[in-house]
Structure 1
Amino acid sequence: MFRTVERLLAFRYLRARRKEGFISVIAGFSLLGIALGVGTLIVVLAVMKGFRDQLVDRILGLNGHMTVFSASGRGIQDYGGIAADLEKAQVVVRALPMVEGQVLASGPDDARGALVRGFTRESLERKTLIANNIRAGSLEDFQGKGVLIGTRMAQRLGLRLGDELNLISPRTVATPFGGMPRQVSFPVVGLFEVGMFEFDSSLVFMPFDTAQAFFQTGDAATAIEVDVTDPQNVKAIRGEIGSIIADRGVVLTDWQQTNSTLVGALDVERNVMFLILTLIILIAAFNIISGMVMLVKDKSRDIAILRTMGATRGMILRIFMMTGASIGIVGTFIGFVLGLAFATNIESIRQALQALTGTQLFSAEIYFLSKLPADVVWSDVVSVVGLSLVLSFLATLYPAWRAARLDPVEALRYE
């Protein structure tokens, strides 16, 4: 498509002489802008994708994909039968009855609100996010009155393995002095850390029968957690699950309903960031236009001489298109390499910057997760690179067209 002489002239115009230094500066800033835009866009999309996936995985790993509640609010009496019927469905991976309630948890150092979830040991072993992230103790001791708490809750309350966790239930107990909150101490038999601050700092796991006695639910469960084969497609599965539990005095909610605001906000933020950072590439493309227009103006005498020597308008068009597009291609390649390198090592870079500056760059209290995640999606990378190349190519069309339309007579009249 491009002849040898066209390539030689195009690359010659990229190496500006001393009097064309300002044009070279503009070209350099254009290349830098495209590289920064492409690299930043790759990193931001990877981090936001990783953040969303990690957040959703933690939410689904602990809360289940669907939850069955009592329609009357009095608990589910036939929780064993309902769970067994649900697990017969091909779309259901597991159905785990639980007892859930809010408490005030206290230790030697502090007191804070907490959420207690009662499961059998067998059910908790099937929740792999917990079973695979026990940092101290063992699930073998999860029986009787022993409880599991998160590592961050243990740090805040000043508790260690074997210490007593004091729980105060909002349900009152009748005494000669009136109603008093129910208060019981439980030994800590294990510490877990799932990597999400909200869960590691406020969740307590208690044996199922102990939770029933503590919350005085009788022989009932407050909910049944249901995990399905395709959690991203719960709306399609909902009808099949609903038919199993129909007319049994229960209602069904899914994780997309419960977390719709959070997931929707993450998706909107990702799209907005893509749009904003694309403007960096667009500005760099406009810099290519301005630099190329100035180059065409400066090279008008050379263009006229080439035309008089037999160069066609198409040849001039291709020369200046190649000159401008080379800036975009090189800038895109540099941004591609830098973006991938940064995204794949972003947690190590964060740790190094924190050690260097002595500041917390990714606070778990604010961002929910303990580590900065990044998930490079190649379709996103291809989209960013393709967008950059297209904008760079379009930026060369007008200056190249002006160069091709230049009249040799007018250009050489005053030479």
Structure 2
Amino acid sequence: MIAGRYLRARRKEAFISVIASLTMVGVAIGVATLIVVMSVMNGFRAELLDKILGLNGHFTAYPIESKFTDYKDAIADLETVQGVKFAVYYVEGQVLASGGGGSTGVSVRGMDAENIDKLTLLMNSAEQGGFDSWDENDGVAIGYRLAQTLGVGLGDQIQLISPQGAMTPFGSTPQIKSYPVRTIFNLGMVEFDSLFVYMPLHLAQDYFRLYEDVLKPGAGPLDPMASDEEIDAAYERVYQASGAEIFIDDPDEVNVVRERIAATPGIRPFILTDWQQRNETFFSALQVERVVMFTILSMIILVAAFNIISSLVMLVKDKSKDIAVLRTMGATRGAIMRIFSITGTTIGVIGTLTGLVLGLLVAANAETLRASISNLLGVTLFPPEVFFLSSLPSKTDPTEVTVVVVLALSLSFLATLYPAWRAAQYDPVEALRYE
């Protein structure tokens, strides 16, 4: 009751009440800022991880010892390993793509419809066109940002130029072919939407010349005067793949699954590169940034805690006569300490709860607020060209929110101990001597 009366403003105590209110606001801002920033950083990491591992597997497998002609059998063997969700084979190459409005370097990936169906992120990202009858398709699928760069739309032609073409007596000639754009997708990640060109597997194998004509089993030596028809009938074309992407159930169990793949008999040898190796520097930097941001922003709460100390010290000074009267009426030192501890802690609790509600609301509507502020100011906040993602993700972690709340409450309580202890040390005789 007494602590509650000390918190309520009176005319002669207006200054102390203003300080207490500002302290409460400081705690709320600190808590809300920590929750919002940590939620956005969690969302940023989770969204990047989903996008990266939505197209690129947890493992990238490259064949060794022989050409990758048995890719279908190898994928079937990999999918029998415990912990492997599925695997896809692909053809990949780097080319120069040009259209009516420009040109840029791209990564071409050839995949058949069976493997495209496994990549739900890609399947669900088609904004124009689609992946129906993909194997019979004669065109390509490109990202919407790449379409903007090349200045092309659905049905327009893009030209792909590869330096590795047919061999002639004068050396290798560039491979130049044009394909119509049949699908435009939006993955929501700038790097992927600007880089990847997907085409049916058979088109990619022909374009990159990933095949070899070999004599059919049982075919004897050909007559030097054999016709073209006879030569074609004696040979068969064996196609190859560039590699495979392996998707597993738990992204954090890459080492366990790697050992299982190596220990499974019958699986052809692969060079395996996991997602942690490919993105080690990037995700390590994100982790360091999260820790640094949490430490720095915690200083806001610490500053607010010092404000609790200053407001309570002034309150104790102003209430020195009240303390003396309470002591003469029988109040113990412990009771005096409890009064001022409750007063300061209440400031911290109200500020923390206010910051908690505010932080959760802002974190849940981060993208909406970003878009609104961008439209209001006419400035692009968090440009996708810099931050990789086309929207501002947010993912609230209950554990981190609990840590922030406990930290704020703990600092608020600790800040009350010194002023409450000083209040308990007041000598009622000295305080009332001249009254």
Three-state SS of the structure 2 residue aligned to 1:171 is coil
Contact 1:69 1:222 in 2 (8 A): yes
The residue that corresponds to 1:201 in the other structure is 194
Q: Percent identity?
A: 53
Are 1:88 and 2:117 counterparts? no
Which residue of 138, 145, 150 maps to 2:138? 145
The residue that corresponds to 1:285 in the other structure is 305
**Structural mapping, 1:8-19, within 5 Å:** 8-19=1-12
The residue that corresponds to 1:410 in the other structure is 430
Which residue of 117, 142, 145 maps to 2:109? 117
The residue that corresponds to 2:224 in the other structure is none
Alignment: residue pair count? 407
The answer to which of 99-108 and 215-224 deviates more is: 215-224
Partners of 1:105 and 1:245 lie apart in 2 by 42
The answer to which of 141-150 and 400-409 deviates more is: 141-150
State the one-letter code of the partner of 2:93: G
Three-state SS of the structure 2 residue aligned to 1:280 is helix
State the one-letter code of the partner of 1:214: Y
Contact 1:107 1:165 in 2 (8 A): yes
The residue that corresponds to 2:153 in the other structure is 160
Q: CA deviation at 1:177?
A: 6.2
Are 1:299 and 2:315 counterparts? no
1:43-76 deviation line (CA, Å, top 9, x unaligned)? 111111111000000000000111111346x752
Partners of 1:386 and 1:348 lie apart in 2 by 29
Q: CA deviation at 1:246?
A: 8.2
Three-state SS of the structure 2 residue aligned to 1:140 is coil
The residue that corresponds to 2:162 in the other structure is 169
Q: CA deviation at 1:377?
A: 1.5
Partners of 1:356 and 1:172 lie apart in 2 by 52
Three-state SS of the structure 1 residue aligned to 2:331 is coil
1:139-194 deviation line (CA, Å, top 9, x unaligned)? 12423432111111112211111111111113143457654321111111111111
State the one-letter code of the partner of 1:33: G
The residue that corresponds to 2:395 in the other structure is 375
Q: Look at both structures and tell me which one has the larger radius of gyration over its CA atoms.
A: 2
Contact 1:75 1:223 in 2 (8 A): no
Are 1:215 and 2:226 counterparts? no
Contact 1:148 1:188 in 2 (8 A): yes
Stretches of structure 2 that go unaligned for 5 or more consecutive residues are 212-238
Are 1:398 and 2:418 counterparts? yes
Which residue of 14, 24, 29 maps to 1:31? 24
The residue that corresponds to 1:134 in the other structure is 126
Change in Cα spacing, 1:62 to 1:247, as seen in structure 2 (3 Å) is: closer
The residue that corresponds to 2:227 in the other structure is none
Contact 2:82 2:260 in 1 (8 A): no
The residue that corresponds to 2:59 in the other structure is 66
TM-score, normalised on structure 1? 0.94
**Structural mapping, 1:326-341, within 5 Å:** 326-341=346-361
Three-state SS of the structure 1 residue aligned to 2:283 is helix
Partners of 1:59 and 1:358 lie apart in 2 by 31
State the one-letter code of the partner of 2:297: L
The residue that corresponds to 1:239 in the other structure is 259
Q: CA deviation at 1:81?
A: 2.1
1:191-244 deviation line (CA, Å, top 9, x unaligned)? 111111110111011111211121122222111111111112212222112223
Cα RMSD (Å) of the superposition?
Answer: 1.7
Contact 1:68 1:253 in 2 (8 A): yes
The answer to which of 140-149 and 285-294 deviates more is: 140-149
Change in Cα spacing, 1:381 to 1:151, as seen in structure 2 (3 Å) is: same
Partners of 1:173 and 1:39 lie apart in 2 by 62
Are 1:189 and 2:169 counterparts? no
Three-state SS of the structure 2 residue aligned to 1:105 is strand
TM-score, normalised on structure 2? 0.90
Runs of 4+ in 1 over 4 A off after TM superposition: 175-178
Are 1:44 and 2:37 counterparts? yes
Change in Cα spacing, 1:253 to 1:245, as seen in structure 2 (3 Å) is: farther
Contact 2:82 2:257 in 1 (8 A): no
Contact 1:46 1:377 in 2 (8 A): yes
Contact 2:33 2:297 in 1 (8 A): yes
The residue that corresponds to 2:278 in the other structure is 258
State the one-letter code of the partner of 2:84: V
Partners of 2:372 and 2:162 lie apart in 1 by 44
Stretches of structure 1 that go unaligned for 5 or more consecutive residues are 1-7
The answer to which of 12-21 and 144-153 deviates more is: 12-21
Contact 2:98 2:104 in 1 (8 A): yes
Change in Cα spacing, 1:245 to 1:362, as seen in structure 2 (3 Å) is: farther
Change in Cα spacing, 1:27 to 1:75, as seen in structure 2 (3 Å) is: farther
The answer to which of 107-116 and 150-159 deviates more is: 150-159
State the one-letter code of the partner of 1:103: V
Q: CA deviation at 1:394?
A: 0.8
Q: CA deviation at 1:89?
A: 1.7
Partners of 2:261 and 2:377 lie apart in 1 by 52
Partners of 2:391 and 2:258 lie apart in 1 by 33
